[in-house]
Amino acid sequence: MTEGVKLDDLEFSRQELWYAIHTKPRQEDFAEANLRNLGLPTFNPKLKERKLIRGVRQDVIKPLFPSYIFCKFRCRDFLRAVKYARGVRDIVRAGDIPIPVGEEIIAVIRQRMRGGYVVIEPPKFNPGDKVVVEDGPLRGFVGIFERETKDSERVVILLNTIKYQARVVMEREHLKKL
């Protein structure tokens, strides 16, 4: 322990608190299942994104925090069992002391969930905002945001190139505000 401090001497070690668990690569679900088998509450937030894959728009589900999940336990009683659970690399700590994650942080993440997944709101643009195309055949082009279409995932931008101007309708997610 750090400078003679024992975990049992720390008040929080007797409390059931959330901790960030560092998992082995791509083993978040496996580690979570093993921690649940110990009877411990876990939280493994996932992110659902719409991506263009080989020309087809698909939902892609991935961990919100790759290689990290959350687990609620009393350090005094479960530290060793959690640390050595299959799929777990370690518990996030400062020196030898595990760092509790505030209940409010877990609550904020849960508030951002819809249908079991964390929702990241698409960027909001105002008419006249300067934008750059980040994906697709027009990648790297700079333009001016003009308006949203009726389908709010698509937007109209005015592209300025060396020889001409053109209005283009494209997916909002391909743009970044400059």
Query: What CA–CA distance (Å, rounded) separates 136 from 74?
Result: 49
**157 pairs with which residues across the strands?**
145, 168
Tell whether the model's pLDDT for residue 24 goes beyond 80.
yes
Identical fold between 2-118 and 130-177? no
| pTM exceeding 0.85 | no
Query: What CA–CA distance (Å, rounded) separates 53 from 42?
Result: 31
Distances (CA, A) of 111 to 30, 70, 151: 25, 16, 26
- Mean pLDDT throughout 9-35? 92
**Each residue of 74-102: pLDDT tens digit?**
998 999 999 999 999 999 999 889 999 99
Sorted by where each begins, the domain ranges of the chain are 2-118, 130-177
- By the 8 A CB rule, do 29 and 45 touch? no
Q: Return the amino acid letter for 62.
A: K
Query: What CA–CA distance (Å, rounded) separates 125 from 140?
Result: 18
Pick the CATH number of 2-118 from 2.102.10.10, 3.10.20.30, 2.140.10.10, 3.30.70.940: 3.30.70.940
In this predicted structure, what is the pLDDT of residue 1?
45
Query: What CA–CA distance (Å, rounded) separates 177 from 172?
Result: 11
Query: What CA–CA distance (Å, rounded) separates 93 from 2?
Result: 11
In this predicted structure, what is the pLDDT of residue 8?
63
Tell whether the model's pLDDT for residue 4 goes beyond 80.
no
Q: Shortest CA distance to 106 belongs to which of 44, 166, 168?
A: 44
In this predicted structure, what is the pLDDT of residue 16?
94
In this predicted structure, what is the pLDDT of residue 14?
83
Residue with the bigger pLDDT between 132 and 4: it is 132
Instruction: State the fold for domain 130-177.
Output: SH3 type barrels. (2.30.30)
